[in-house]
A and B are shown apart, each in its own frame.
Chain A
């Protein structure tokens, strides 16, 4: 009875994590009879009676409350469709746009094809319609700078504990950096060289996320390049 696999182990689909009715599958796992079984390749996390498998791979899984950065791909009466890097586009209704849009206005004048926006997911319907908004602090159409992509599972690493990693890169490069949960990151600096440095630092975090002492390494990297 109980938890059969050590916490913080890597589990794979099909692994039997726990036995008995005491435990509740909360993320990335499911109940089969008296077993709780993993359905993802990820890290096992046990919090009281809740069992979570934190996925370590896979494309972005949208969640309500996530900040995302996406490109305007299409528009129709009353809404824009934003590519946020998963199977479904984000739907941005006119009433959820930060700018006031007049009745019968040309939507492209507000957000045009190819524009990037910083948005928040407000609702996910049963049929996977993802409603997003650009109304709110920090949400807007992006002007200037550049957007890069990292694997969504690396986003927590890029942000760091309480934002420590991304803050350090911001300070070390004088850039505004907004990190979307969907792996898209907006970098806006005073000049392309600063933006390049921020890009290199972030990609370094992505590629070396498994190494110890990464924060210090990145700090040293930024100092050297300046």
Chain B
């Protein structure tokens, strides 16, 4: 069956409304909120800080530890508190999506901790988490070669679309979900997963859409970072 109009009337290459804010958790070294449609993620960064136990330390460079959790009330069916296999995997791929832009050789034996919490979930949570984490890392003063943005693309019915919402993910005639993270300057893909069935042409079309989406998101992230500083700028 043909998916001719999106459930929320967006264009196929249109993302949901985005809001980004930096410096939302005073105790953290860096923090940010990223909202896309009805999905809301917050991220806090602590570090670089000392790492215990000692056997985890790397004398050549610092390590990055990411932890992704969803709040129990963030979805329709309550999630029991505590890590799940899904959250463990997402924590891992989130870490891999951010590492390529970080230079941790400046912090041997130390750790940079990134904590992501999903307050409200309507698909695209791991991507929203990565967008928030990227801003939080910059806010925390961790040296970064580039910003990282992430958005999902996919196939709903027979159409390639960007930023699937929950309804589209659950589309009864089949949907393929493809989360993508990309760096701002060199457009390097640092996160790529896929769940479903597509042809190569469809995948490449999706990646092109993701590129445009990520570049738009990066402009929003940069603006949020500048805004946070303007409120605190020295004379």
Contact = CB atoms under 8 A, between A and B. Distances in A.
B140 interface: yes
Contact of B48 (A14, A15, A87): A87
A144 interface: no
Contact of B233 (A10, A39, A127): A10
B138 A12 contact: yes
Contacts of B129: none
Interface stretch (A56-64, A131-139, A179-187, A193-201): A56-64
Given A30-B145, A59-B48, A127 B235 contact: no
Contacts of B93: none
Interface string B130-151: 0000000011111111110000
Contacts of B142: 58
B234 A209 contact: yes
Interface string B217-234: 010011001100111111
A89 B143 CA distance: 21
Interface residues of B, number: 40
Given A12-B138, A41-B138, A88-B50, A58 B233 contact: no
Interface string A16-51: 100000000000101010000101110100000000
Contacts of A224: none
Interface majority SS (helix, strand, loop, mixed), chain A: loop
A122 interface: no
A157 B107 contact: no
A57 to B, nearest CB: 5
B141 A39 contact: no
A10 B229 contact: yes
A211 B234 CA distance: 7
8 contacts: A14-B184, A15-B222, A30-B145, A40-B143, A57-B140, A87-B107, A210-B233, A211-B235
Interface of A: 10, 12-16, 28, 30, 32, 37, 39-41, 43, 55-59, 61, 86-89, 127-128, 154, 156-157, 209-212, 214
Given A37-B145, A57-B141, 16 more contacts: A14-B222, A15-B222, A40-B141, A56-B234, A57-B139, A58-B140, A58-B141, A59-B48, A87-B111, A88-B50, A127-B59, A128-B109, A156-B234, A157-B235, A209-B234, A210-B234
